[in-house]
Chains A and B, each alone.
Chain A
Amino acid sequence: MARYALRRLLIAIPTLLAISFIIFALLDLAPSDPTANLPLTIPPEVREKIRLSLGLGEPFVVRYFKWLEQFMINEPLNVLEQWTGWTIGDSENRLRVLSWATRSPVTDLIVERLPQTLWVVGMSYVIAVLIAVPIGVISAYRQYSLFDQIGTFISMLGFSIPTFFTGLLLIVIFSVWLGWLPSIYDTTHVVRDWDSFVFQVKQMLMPTMVLALANASQISRFMRASMLDNLNQDYVRTARAKGLRERVVVLVHVLRNSLIPVVTVIALGVPTIFGGAIITEQIFRVNGIGQLLIIGIEGADIPLVQTLTFIFAILIVVFNLIADLIYGMLDPRIRYD
């Protein structure tokens, strides 16, 4: 298994290099001008100088490799230095990936935004999994019961209604009409005592629920289908014929088998947490990664967008690998060789 993981990681390197090139090339080809947002009074010569200072005078290939070096070597070194307090080599003059809009290193921007995203989006994913699995199990075990029908109806809603609609709906109901919950997420809020904790919960409630509904709808459907598949298997009858309790039959024998594909689906969904829920963050003004990406796109901040997109790509590749490894751990029939 370790060898398999290592091999997959090695294969991931050329894959990621190819992806990085495509991302870089696509964004580079896109018609955008980093100086377009500057005041019109700035003369063209100055604009040209700004462009040159951003490195745009260099040929495409040179820029690509420089970006690659900055992203793959300089930034990780920098993060390492910040975490450990060491000084590795010439850290003063090391070139970092700089945002065109803010002139600050892209990594710093991301690190600043990540906690909000992880809290809101990550929490919503955890909640989604925690409610989706039991719902899927019960729906399948009591197929066509009232519980199942209601579950099916709600997950159909969660599945088909986009988050910008449910988000706005919740804001209208709970912020505008009832005034119970804040409609804007206050990032500067610090949890100090019970009251501030309650406020934190309140402001997280709506964005978390909107995302949890969407995710739970999907996962509970997978769970239900997988349970139904397994409930009809012969081994379930064997388990019953042994005189096991129904609880053991369902929660040990059937659930264990049903979780195999569902865990994969859950693992594959994790990168979307880091990607941030772009729309939901936008609606609730959570200044997380998703919102950062939108700002980057609107401001033609190519380095920022390149870096973020590439980080998403890495996460997707990594979690694909993790999903495969978990699959192998859960299913003894899978052999890695």
Chain B
Amino acid sequence: MNSAPVLEVQGLKTVFGTRDFAVHAVNDVSFSLREGELLGVVGESGSGKSVTMMSLLRLLPSPPARIESGRVMFEGQDLVRLDDASLREVRGRGIGFVFQDPMTSLNPVFTVGFQLMEPLRTHLGFDRKAARRRAAELLALVGIPSPEARLDDYPHQFSGGMRQRVMIAIALACNPKVLIADEPTTALDVTIQAQILELVKDLRHKLGMAVVWITHDLGVVAGIADRVMVMYGGQVVESAGVDALYENPTHPYTRALMATLPSLDGTRRDRLMTIAGQPPLLTAPPAACPFAPRCAHVHDRCRMANPPLIEVAPGHAAACWLAAPGEGVQNGV
């Protein structure tokens, strides 16, 4: 797939700040998403996955959140600088968003049908009847039985997995070009998780949209993604096609993540592996490699300068000094 990028993010920086403290949650993140591509975003809790994606649509509460710099190009517009009215046109219509927590992301006092019809009526100008018909179709599309009847139910009458499907249906309502799904399956049990994965894979081909799939599970990503972006400490530390990443993980953090995966025959290596040490605090913009304190291959340079993304192969980049020419990463450090 070598089509044009639909979404291009350049040098995005997001800070949570009051007078007394600051959290540099997103530090200079750049990536692009091609038409129809499925980009997996992985990284441990607190690595800035959600904050990055919410920054794209300016969905973070401000204050305290502030986008310090960066560009988010979508359909020729920079979403960071777009006026509110045009941004609303992008939200829900151009880009659909599925949030992390299905239990709280729906409004408890409105019916599912009402919430599903809202974007249809706002963006596409559907009348009541047409919106209702389309809403029922959408519920059917995400695999909810007797969709017509369930439109009049309230969120609390749905199970967690069903609510997540409803969230996906809402995000898909206006046939967006991009779907951003923020850990849409973590709250769910394994079977439902698999169903939703299949559903998105399927819909993606049917509707031809690009998908950003956030998770902290590399195993999930392996199954569905075209490309993977690994985040650590608010930065992209590695980005590669899915096969390249699994064959040749370059950043020590990616390798450590891989090591925490169960091996192919299903048994875990030794015990459950975890990465020793704590994630960085992010109270200042990074002056050194954020992974240095936990890295097995750390050397002086890592503590003095933060490595940029360095291309190790076409379409494969890692933010690690070991990947720099002359540092000898290919020799298997």
Contact = CB atoms under 8 A, between A and B. Distances in A.
A75 to B, nearest CB: 42
Contacts of B119: 242-244
A15 interface: no
B89 interface: yes
Contacts of B115: 238
Interface in A66-124: none
B108 interface: yes
Nearest to A256: B109
Nearest to B154: A332
Interface string A227-257: 0000011110111111111101000010011
Given A241-B57, A241-B92, A242-B91, A234 B154 contact: no
B156 interface: yes
Contact of A235 (B54, B96, B104, B154): B104
A237 B156 contact: no
Interface residues of B, number: 32
A260 B170 contact: no
A239 B170 CA distance: 10
A333 B108 contact: yes
A148 to B, nearest CB: 14
Given A237-B59, A243-B88, A243-B90, A257 B122 contact: no
A238 B88 contact: no
Interface string B228-256: 00000000000000000000000000000
B107 A243 contact: no
B122 A244 contact: yes
Interface string A139-150: 000000000000
B99 A332 contact: no
A240 B59 contact: yes
Contacts of B159: none
Contacts of A232: 61
Contacts of B225: none
B186 to A, nearest CB: 15
A244 B92 CA distance: 8
Contacts of A331: 108-109
B208 to A, nearest CB: 21
B99 A243 contact: no
Contacts of A256: 107, 109-110
Given A234-B105, A237-B99, A333 B170 contact: no
Contacts of B97: 238, 241
Contacts of A240: 59, 91
Given A233-B104, A235-B106, A260-B109, A333 B154 contact: yes
A235 B92 contact: no
A244 B104 CA distance: 18
Contacts of A241: 57, 59, 91-92, 96-97, 99, 171
Contacts of A332: 108-109, 154, 156
Given A237-B59, A238-B99, A243 B122 contact: yes
Nearest to B170: A242
Given A234-B99, A245-B88, A333-B154, A239 B122 contact: no
B103 to A, nearest CB: 9
A142 to B, nearest CB: 12
Interface centre among A239, A260, A331 (most CB of B within 10 A): A239
B122 A237 contact: no
A256 B110 CA distance: 9
Contacts of A248: 122
A13 interface: no
Contact of B122 (A233, A235, A242, A260): A242
Contact of B107 (A245, A246, A253, A260): A253
Contacts of B154: 332-333
B123 interface: yes
Contacts of B167: 238
Given A242-B119, A244-B118, A332-B154, A235 B59 contact: no
15 contacts: A234-B99, A234-B101, A234-B105, A237-B105, A238-B115, A241-B57, A241-B99, A243-B88, A243-B90, A243-B123, A244-B118, A246-B84, A256-B109, A257-B107, A331-B108
Interface of A: 232-235, 237-246, 248, 253, 256-257, 260, 330-333
Question: What are the 7 closest A-B residue pairs judged by CB atoms, nearest first?
Answer: A243-B92, A243-B91, A242-B92, A234-B104, A235-B107, A241-B97, A332-B154
Given A237-B59, A333-B156, 15 more contacts: A234-B101, A235-B107, A237-B54, A238-B106, A238-B167, A238-B170, A239-B118, A241-B91, A242-B170, A253-B107, A256-B107, A257-B107, A257-B109, A260-B109, A332-B154
